[in-house]
Amino acid sequence: MPSDADETHLLRALALARKGWGDTHPNPMVGAAVVEGGKIVAEGFHARAGTPHAEVKALQALGRRPLAGATLYVTLEPCSTHGRTPPCVQAILDAGLRRVVVGTVDPNPLHAGNGIELLRAAGVEVTLAFGPLEVACRELNFLFNHWMVHRRTLVAMKVARDATGRTVPVPGQRFITGELARADMMQWRRLFPVIAIGAGTALADNPQLTARLPEGAFAPVRLLLDRSGRTAGQGHLQIFSDSYRSQTIVALDVRQTSPEQRTWFKGQGLQTLEISSGDFLKQVFQHATDSGWLGVFVEPGPVLGAALIAARLIDRAWIYTAPSGKADPSSQSWLNKVLIADGASVLNLGEDTLISGSWK
């Protein structure tokens, strides 16, 4: 059982892991710390795929062999197989560490527990976190975990509404929710490798689809679901004309668009995803899986949102709810029932409330 000191050091490793927020795909975020005599003497986190893992970074930062009695704290079970980088289990053994505290086990059913077993077989004491701390270490990588278990892209839906279920701001206002809620949304945009919207949202709101944070703006892949090519010729749209336009992909249904429309998008330097058979939405998300995208953060309007719900394509949802009167009363009320499974997270953000979790 981990001690209070173990929990303190593992919380620090968890904070280190979060430094890789949005940058490690398709790998998980992982943090590690080496502790000697009750004090952290070296730290590391996984920054990007292909770079050293957190355990190796921490040992490199130490610059010497750990002292006898040192403990390594790591948020995720050390890897036991050789991928882009050598296995971390071997690095731990080579360093002579005799105790490791692990935040959560590897979510891959083929590898779960292997690293821990190898360490224990070599005489290393391995302590596992439990309770809220284990949950925090596991949930940090919910995108990676979903991919490992289901081998497909996680489809998330973000909706900002008022208490009546309406999602269109009152005339003259740009937003329904307040600053705290919008800042929280930006963090999730930063995490997901892909943000998606429908043609109606693109034409009505002309969004940037970037994560605008105090440290700067970041643009993931921006996926526009425009089945019938309604946005063709709309060169003023920011996702078609800004400096990130090469990261915009327009999903089109060949059966509902003309060659001229499809040529226009390509002429703007945009990528197109042309669906010619099967269900349009399902084929788009199959492409997401084929592309190795761990998650797509969909910010739908009423039409796309209702279609996603009807097709049962949503895995997880973020529902931001503002007080009544923040939305246009003449607009459509389409999300007056939130179908999030038991165990949902509830967060107060000023006047607004965020409910997030797995969608039923």
Q: Is 254 exposed, middle or buried (0-12, 13-18, 19+ CB in 10 A)?
A: middle
Query: In 37-153, which ranges are E strands?
Result: 39-45, 71-74, 99-102, 125-128
183: its two tokens: 């800042």
Known catalytic residue at 117: no
How far apart are the C-alpha atoms of 240 and 285, rounded to whole Å? Answer: 22
Angle, vertex CA 142, rays to CA 222 and CA 133, nearest 5: 140
How far apart are the C-alpha atoms of 169 and 335, rounded to whole Å? Answer: 14
From 27, 48, 44, select the one nearest 35 (Cα to Cα).
44
How far apart are the C-alpha atoms of 71 and 138, rounded to whole Å? Answer: 21
Q: Which of 36, 43, 55, 134 is catalytic?
A: 55
Confirm if 213 and 190 have CB atoms less than 8 A apart: yes
Q: What are the catalytic residues? A: 55
